[in-house]
């Protein structure tokens, strides 16, 4: 978990019970060879389900993060539908989605926000300054600045597209402007 206060401000506040549940969850995608991924999956199921139920019951997940998962307009690309509907198309429904091994990145986002280097987040925050002032063509300029940040921090395009979109939403930038940033990064020459 990041130690930087700037990044921690995007983390949602957890109750002591949720913190205890989270301590039992292995949120890593890349597991060491010596660790059995199926064992991790099995041990994660109950605590992930419990923490998600708790977060939902108390409305702790910011609405834009919920929309990122449930609203089709938050997911660009050829496949139509939301990220949630992709699970449903593959036969995983309801609470089973939370137990699915591919749900972990969404849980990380719900809990902590985007997955960008702390330095990249700080630079982007400085470029934005006050998110309330972002309007009109500002999304274009911010996208160009995000691309420059990606180059400095060697953030690959496939990560930058989604993570800067998430960061923009967390900062309070409108969906329209965040979507502009996402679109321009996706069409950029980043590798």
Kindly state the percentage of the chain with pLDDT values over 70: 96
Q: How far apart are the C-alpha atoms of 181 and 190, rounded to whole Å? A: 14
Q: Per residue in 141-152, pLDDT tens?
A: 999 999 999 999
Model confidence pLDDT, tens digit, residues 23-63 = 999 999 888 888 888 999 999 999 999 999 999 999 999 99
pLDDT of residue 2 exceeding 70, the answer is no
Share of the chain above pLDDT 90, in %: 81
DSSP sequence for 125-164: HHHH--GGG--TTHHHHHHHHHHHHHHHHT--HHHHHHHH
| Residue 155: partners with Cβ closer than 8 Å, 6 or more residues away | 116, 117, 120, 149, 163, 190
pLDDT-based confidence at 77, cuts 50/70/90?
confident
Cα 61 from chain centre: 12
pTM, entire model: 0.91
Number of Cβ atoms within 10 Å of the Cβ of 34? 5
Question: Which of 73, 151, 165 is closest to 119 using CA atoms?
Answer: 151
pLDDT at 7: 58
Q: Burial code of 140-172, b = ≥16 C-beta within 10 A, e = fewer?
A: eebbebbbebbeeeebeeeebbbbbbbbbbbbe
| Closest by Cα among 179, 187, 114 to 153 | 114
Cβ-Cβ contacts under 8 Å for 127 (sequence gap 6 or more): 142, 145, 146, 149
pLDDT of residue 1: 35
């Amino acid at each position: 978990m990041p130690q930087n206060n700037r990044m921690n401000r995007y983390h949602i506040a957890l109750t002591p019970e949720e913190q205890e549940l989270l301590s039992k969850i292995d949120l890593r995608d890349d597991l060491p060879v010596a660790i059995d991924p199926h064992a991790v999956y099995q041990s994660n199921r109950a605590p992930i389900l419990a923490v998600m139920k708790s977060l939902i019951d108390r409305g702790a997940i910011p609405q834009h993060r919920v929309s990122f998962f449930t609203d089709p307009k938050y997911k660009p690309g050829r496949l139509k539908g939301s990220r949630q509907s992709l699970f449903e198309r593959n036969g995983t429904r309801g609470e089973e989605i939370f137990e699915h091994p591919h749900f972990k990145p969404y849980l990380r986002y719900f809990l902590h926000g985007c997955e960008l280097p702390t330095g990249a987040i700080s630079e982007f925050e400085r470029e934005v300054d006050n998110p309330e002032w972002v309007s009109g063509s500002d999304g274009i300029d911010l996208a160009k600045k995000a691309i420059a940040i990606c180059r400095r921090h060697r953030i690959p395009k496939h990560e930058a597209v989604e993570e800067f979109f998430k960061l923009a939403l967390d900062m309070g930038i409108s969906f329209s402007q965040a979507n502009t940033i996402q679109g321009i990064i996706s069409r950029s020459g980043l590798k």
